[in-house]
Amino acid sequence: MTDITTIRTDDPIIVGSGVAGLTAALGLGSCTVITKSALAEGSSRLAQGGIAAAVGDGDDAEQHAADTVAVSGGLGDPMVAKLVTASAAECIDWLQSLGAQFDRKNGRLALGREAGHGRHRIVHADGDATGAELMRTLRAATVARPQIDVWENTLALDLIRRGDRVTGVLVRTATGQLVAIEGPAVILATGGIGRLYAHTTNPEEVTGDGMAMAARAGATLLDPEFVQFHPTALVSDLDPMPLLTEALRGAGAVLVDESGSRFMPAEHPDAELAPRDVVARANWRRRAAGKAVFLDATLIGDTFPDRFPTVFAAAMDAGIDPRIDPMPVNATAHYHMGGIEVDEHGRTSLPGLYAVGETAATRLHGANRLASNSLLEGLVFGARAAADAGELGDHRSELEPAVVPASAFNVSDEDDAAAVAGLRALMWEHVGVERDAGGLERARTELAALLPRLEEGPTARNLATVAGVAIATALARTESRGGHYRSDFPETDPAWRRHTTYRLQPIADTTLHRAMATA
């Protein structure tokens, strides 16, 4: 008999403790937070450039919204962009009220510049360590609230449903105990899908779990094919790869080839500050042709350790003094524009289920995200989902049995590391910066061959689900747009100016009751 503890709570349950999860938790004030490693781990704490907010002289939310939509490949929703950018100043004030220390110049917030932004509007901390300060602040505020019940080192395995409602989460705790926890709402804040790729800036927690769980429960996914590749990760064997923040290019750093010549001015009128997908592809093509690409940030000179301490440390660890030498760079998987489809309150297509942060697709970014809009989106939608979910009554009906996907009970303790490495390599090779039908078909075949080894892994099964969805939608979109570039369809096709929606085929469920009795 499987030993499952069942718990009922009167407060919403949040899965994930990055910027989006902890903002939702603080908005609710009383809730349960499930997080698979230590509190506040995830991509958020690694953020470098900062938080976009139109708080400088001559700037306003309308301009920020216009820049957001301009780089979105025609798919960013202007209404969502207005909603998010109009809340940015309030988010910065809120963080400061919690004790966040952002960098200042002459007593005012110091503002950086990044690609696609028409103004200096990136609020940052400790130069390029914004995420660390952000998460220090949110973590401290969370642990100060005894009504926020935090379960660290606890893995959410699958969503629990009663009828068409999501009512809870099946989790495996640090001691290996299975717990079915039910409450009035579940908010998924599990981050992106970066670990699907052999080369990524994303840390090990970021494995698409929320998207896969939502898909298995029958939620609608949006735009899974749109993956953002960051143009400047430091070439190294480290996993994740060290990011060289775009703020360096905002401060004047340039991309050069082996001879020290710039190549971006010939690619785009905005050169190194062109939209991220354009710069990433330019780098990728050079490297794919066997050439090296460098980020020359030597103009920053002796101020480097103070202005960009994170990048400085990473470069010095790699044996490069960035004050003197250009740094070798490559494009790297960084961010997922696609995710679980949500409305302006973070509600998914399933009653009782919310999604916030990178796992959600709000239509803010469309096919390509504007730099430093992600932390902001997590703050805005974390708060909005909390406000909505906090109002939900208890709709659970005992007449409906609690069900979970039957596969939740086939999960072993460990992933098959070699199979995961194989999956990450095939995604990088065939579903990366440039795709074509032959490569995508090959990815599909290779994924099918790996599937039996991936399916039982606690994390690998989620990577496999998300990979399958991304491959299918990348094959279907026979055009190039934003982060999705098809070398066999290199043009943007106006007929494809639409979002992709995707739902998994229904899968076998089992009731918790039966699982407890028979497994």
Q: Which residue numbers are catalytic?
A: 276
Kindly indicate which of the ranges 254-262, 357-365, 402-410, 476-484 contains the residues binding ligand FAD, using the contact rule CB under 6 A: 357-365
In the list 328, 346, 357, 457, the residue contacting ligand FAD (rule: CB under 6 A) is 357
Other beta carbons within 10 Å of 105: 8
Kindly indicate which of the ranges 187-195, 311-319, 368-376, 440-448 contains the residues binding ligand SIN, using the contact rule CB under 6 A: 368-376
Residue 72 lies near ligand SIN (rule: CB under 6 A): no
Binders of ligand FAD among residues 97 to 156 (CB under 6 A) are 130-131, 155-156
Residue 168 lies near ligand FAD (rule: CB under 6 A): no
Helices (H) and strands (E) in the chain, counts: 15, 24
Residue 371 lies near ligand SIN (rule: CB under 6 A): yes
Measured distance CA(439)–CA(332) in Å, rounded: 18
With CB under 5 to 8 Å by kind, the binding choice for 72 among ligand FAD, ligand SIN, none is none
Q: Are 346 and 245 in contact (CB under 8 A)?
A: no
Kindly indicate which of the ranges 67-75, 244-252, 306-314, 352-360 contains the residues binding ligand SIN, using the contact rule CB under 6 A: 244-252
In the list 32, 85, 245, 473, the residue contacting ligand SIN (rule: CB under 6 A) is 245
If you write DSSP's letter for every residue of 108-148 in order, what string do you get?
Answer: EE-EE--TT-SS--EE-STTT-HHHHHHHHHHHHHHT-TTE
| Sign of the CA dihedral with 141 first, then 145, 147, and 149 last | positive
Residue 468 lies near ligand SIN (rule: CB under 6 A): no
Residue 68 lies near ligand SIN (rule: CB under 6 A): no
Q: Are 361 and 342 in contact (CB under 8 A)?
A: yes
Residue 88 lies near ligand FAD (rule: CB under 6 A): no
Ramachandran category for residue 372: left, alpha or beta (phi over 0 → left; psi -120 to 50 → alpha): left
Cα 37 to the center of its chain, rounded Å:
17
Q: Which letter does DSSP use for residue 241 in this model? A: P
Q: Are 428 and 199 in contact (CB under 8 A)?
A: yes
Residue 28 lies near ligand SIN (rule: CB under 6 A): no
**In terms of C-beta density within 10 A (0-12 exposed, 13-18 middle, 19 or more buried), how is residue 392 classed?**
middle
Query: Edge-to-edge strands of the sheet including 501-502?
Result: 360-361, 339-341, 221-222, 501-502
Residue 375 lies near ligand FAD (rule: CB under 6 A): yes
With CB under 5 to 8 Å by kind, the binding choice for 310 among ligand SIN, ligand FAD, none is none
Nearest to 102 by CA among 323, 302, 375, 380: 375
Give the pairing type, strands 122-123 and 111-112.
antiparallel
Kindly indicate which of the ranges 257-265, 355-363, 414-422, 493-501 contains the residues binding ligand FAD, using the contact rule CB under 6 A: 355-363
What is the number of the residue whose Cβ is closest to ligand SIN?
Answer: 49
Nearest distance from C-beta of residue 344 to ligand SIN, angstroms: 22
Q: Where are the beta strands (DSSP E) in 237-376?
A: 254-256, 294-296, 327-336, 339-341, 353-355, 360-361
Closer residue to ligand SIN, CB minimum distance, 49 or 405 = 49
Measured distance CA(387)–CA(381) in Å, rounded: 10
Closer residue to ligand FAD, CB minimum distance, 125 or 450 = 125
With CB under 5 to 8 Å by kind, the binding choice for 246 among ligand SIN, ligand FAD, none is ligand SIN
With CB under 5 to 8 Å by kind, the binding choice for 17 among ligand FAD, ligand SIN, none is ligand FAD
Closer residue to ligand FAD, CB minimum distance, 156 or 248 = 156
User: What is the phi/psi pair of residue 331, to 5°?
Assistant: -75, 145
Binders of ligand SIN among residues 116 to 175 (CB under 6 A) are none
- The 3-state DSSP composition of the chain as helix, strand, coil percent (nearest 5) reads 35, 20, 45
Cα 282 to the center of its chain, rounded Å:
23
Residue 408 lies near ligand FAD (rule: CB under 6 A): no
Residue 87 lies near ligand SIN (rule: CB under 6 A): no
Residue 446 lies near ligand SIN (rule: CB under 6 A): no
Q: Which residues pair with 7 in a beta bridge?
A: 181
Which two structure tokens, joined as six digits, stand for 150?
């935090």
Measured distance CA(171)–CA(174) in Å, rounded: 10
Kindly indicate which of the ranges 34-42, 87-95, 389-397, 449-457 contains the residues binding ligand FAD, using the contact rule CB under 6 A: 34-42
Nearest distance from C-beta of residue 242 to ligand FAD, angstroms: 8
Measured distance CA(149)–CA(143) in Å, rounded: 9
Kindly indicate which of the ranges 307-315, 372-380, 390-398, 498-506 contains the residues binding ligand FAD, using the contact rule CB under 6 A: 372-380
Other beta carbons within 10 Å of 121: 26
Nearest distance from C-beta of residue 176 to ligand FAD, angstroms: 15
Residue 346 lies near ligand FAD (rule: CB under 6 A): no
Closer residue to ligand SIN, CB minimum distance, 55 or 233 = 233
**Location of structure tokens 């400790």:** 126
Nearest distance from C-beta of residue 167 to ligand FAD, angstroms: 17
List of residues contacting ligand FAD (CB under 6 A): 15-21, 34-37, 41-44, 46-50, 130-131, 155-156, 189-192, 201-202, 205-206, 209, 243, 335, 357-359, 372-375, 378
List of residues contacting ligand SIN (CB under 6 A): 48-49, 245-247, 335, 371-372, 374
